[in-house]
Chain A
Amino acid sequence: MLDTLRVTLDQLDAMAEGRSSLAVVELLKKANRSRQLVMLRAVLDRTRGTTTPLPPLDEAWSLLAAVQQRDEAAVEAVITHPRTGWWTATLLRLLNRDDGEQPLWTHLGYLHQMAAAAAIRAGHDFSMRVPVWRGTVMLPTLGVATVPSEVEWDVAEVHGSGGHVTVGDTQIPGPGWLALRTLRAGDLEVCLDDIDPYREFYGPMPPRRLSDDEVATWSESLHHTWQLLSDHHPETAAELASGLTTLVPCTAEQYSASHNDAFGSVVLSLPPDATTFAEVLVHEFQHNKFGVLLSLVDLLDPKADNETPRLYAPWRDDPRPPTGLLHGMVSFLDVAAFYHNQSIVDDRSIIQFKFEYHRRQTSQAVETLLNETTLSELGQRFLSKARDQLLRWATVPLPDPIREAAQRASDDHRLSWRIRHLRPRDADVIADAWLNKPPKPVVEPKMREESEAAVKLYRQEILERPESVAAWAGLALASEDKTLQTRPELVFTVYQEIRSRGGAADPLRLAEWLS
């Protein structure tokens, strides 16, 4: 009988405390591989007897199995490719509930593409029919071939014999073939994937081929980033060298993403410098790792509602579900760890600020998870370890201006979020009470000169733009009013209710009255 995988508490603690560990990555790679094979078997079981324009899935499986006998590494490359995990999970969802966005057989055909790619890698003689989308055939880990076709979805034959490979009439390599490009830096080797139709976790989308100059820019940037990681974060570098396989360049600005089912892949716009690039890789790879970890253990009680967006995440403007907040907490914990280590060798204020800011964000998230979600026993332990680490980092000496700036930034975000998303009950009743008996004017407490000027400006802005979240958050910070700082949404909502009834109120007077 087969055995199940085990995770040690030491491995869990390493992740909870933001410590890099090659042993953890090796375990997660093993788990990811097992998960992908399990899902492959499930796909085969669910689709037996299905008729499509392609050969039966069993035939594609037989080719993969035959290649595995000859060249295990060729099949491993294809099975553990990030796209395989994404594909199997997506297909299982579609088999449950087809969204009708593209013919199901074209999804099933990815197994045929995998088998063909593995056979090519192994130099194995074969023939296999595969799906064609708008005249393109993607062979995972290798590249994309162009074939003549006048329809959205078509079929082509991939043929390999004596080392010569054709896709329809297109010879590969040759005209009509775009190979996946590889970037290397130190021990790191990654594909720079600008061609897979599902490279950004939705699709299909056409290739967006980078020019040679663009590739050179990516390569140089990665080289500098790797230098930074190798020199100052060697354990993190070792993790990435082991687990990161694919970078997907995208055109959106300051963007990065990963997917729970695509271990090893990161979608990103080109970061502006090596430190930011390293931060993005740390952040996204931590998501990769955590996605696999959550397939092994439950940190949240599976019987609770963990998917409804309702919680405050200090790095997002929208409410997040418990699973999303947990994912973000773990990734930003690692980012805080990165900047903590980086601050030892880079004394710029921005580095210290980022460490302190991300530490505060993550601490806030940990408290929310501990107090507002239903954790499993392991989850309780995990978050306690994270909290202990964050408390240790809170004692790191930092200049006061850095601490204050980080506090103000995180307070501003928290206040803005509360104003946008929380609505107190009975605001209309409270507004009526104000209108029926407005409070007498009082002498305002003396403020610091710079605060007085800021308060005056924010009051004026609220008069002119009463729903400006930024103005309300700014007023809370500048005035240091207790009610505005703890329940800004209350003051904001009652103020709007008073206005809607034709009344008037000074925001600070209202806050003082509500206290």
Chain B
Amino acid sequence: MTLAGEVTTNVVDMTGLSLERLRTSDDLVLAQSIKIITGRAQCSQTGVLQNQVREDI
């Protein structure tokens, strides 16, 4: 925790960062975030949350 009552996350805050800067940024916090988030995305199973199994698919 950073301050009392707050939890630090691994997700970078992209507020204010333009697409042009994002394209080539070598910011370390961004790099770390990319590693963690893409690792999760690559390994996760299907993320569909449905109330019943569909038979028409």
Contacts and interface: CB of A to CB of B under 8 A. Distances in A.
B37 A35 contact: yes
Given A6-B7, A39-B37, A295-B37, A44 B15 contact: no
Contact of A68 (B18, B45, B56): B18
Greatest chain B CB density within 10 A among A35, A40, A58, A287 is at A35
Contacts of A324: 49
Interface string B10-23: 11111101111011
A254 B50 CA distance: 11
Nearest to B12: A2
A31 B53 CA distance: 30
A20 interface: no
A255 B12 contact: no
Given A39-B38, A44-B23, A2 B17 contact: yes
A65 B27 contact: no
A6 B8 contact: yes
Contacts of B6: 6-9
B38 A295 contact: no
Nearest to A32: B11
Nearest to B56: A252
A8 B33 CA distance: 20
Contact of B41 (A33, A93, A202): A93
B12 A4 contact: yes
Contacts of B47: 89, 201, 259-261, 291
Interface in B1-57: 2, 5-15, 17-20, 22-23, 25, 27-30, 33-34, 37-38, 40-57
Nearest to B19: A65
A331 B49 CA distance: 11
A4 B11 CA distance: 5
A251 B14 contact: no
A496 B17 CA distance: 65
A39 B35 CA distance: 10
Contact of A5 (B13, B43, B48): B13
A180 B27 CA distance: 38
A296 interface: yes
A3 B52 contact: no
Given A2-B12, A34-B12, A42 B44 contact: no
A250 B21 CA distance: 40
Contacts of B51: 254-257, 283, 315
Contacts, number: 162
Nearest to A288: B49
A251 B29 contact: no
Contacts of A33: 14
Contacts of B5: 8-10
A261 B47 CA distance: 7
A202 B14 contact: no
B41 A258 contact: no
A10 B5 CA distance: 7
Contacts of A44: 23
Contact of B38 (A42, A201, A284): A42
Contact of B56 (A40, A251, A259): A251
A1 B7 contact: no
A218 interface: no
B47 to A, nearest CB: 3
A164 interface: no
A38 B14 contact: yes
Contacts of A200: 57
Interface string A81-99: 0000000110011011000
A297 interface: yes
B34 A41 contact: yes
A2 B13 contact: yes
Contacts of B57: 200, 202
B14 A4 contact: no
B9 A92 contact: no
A266 B35 CA distance: 29
A30 interface: yes
Given A1-B27, A257-B49, A327-B49, A38 B33 contact: yes
A4 B18 contact: no
A378 B11 CA distance: 17
A8 to B, nearest CB: 5
Interface of B: 2, 5-15, 17-20, 22-23, 25, 27-30, 33-34, 37-38, 40-57
15 contacts: A6-B8, A9-B6, A9-B7, A34-B11, A39-B41, A41-B25, A69-B20, A92-B38, A202-B57, A259-B48, A261-B47, A295-B37, A296-B10, A331-B49, A378-B7
For the complex of A and B, the 10 pairs showing the least CB-CB separation, nearest first, are: A260-B47, A257-B50, A65-B19, A34-B14, A96-B42, A296-B9, A42-B38, A92-B41, A65-B20, A89-B41
